[in-house]
Amino acid sequence: MTNRTKKVNVGRNNGKMGQPTKYKKIYCAQMLDFFQNKPRQVVEEEEYIRDDEVKVRKVMKKRGPPTITEFATIVGIRRATLYEWCKQHPEFDEVFALCKDIQEHKLVEGTLVGDYIGSFPMLFLKNNHGWADKVESKVTGKLQLEDIVGGSMDDEDDE
DSSP labels, 91-122: HHHHHHHHHHHHHHHHHHHHHHTTSS-SSHHH
pLDDT at position 11: 46
pTM: 0.66
Alpha-carbon dihedral sign for residues 127, 130, 132, 137: positive
Per-residue confidence band for 16, with pLDDT thresholds at 50, 70 and 90: low
Summarised one tens digit per residue, pLDDT across range 97-128 is: 999 999 999 999 999 999 888 899 999 999 99
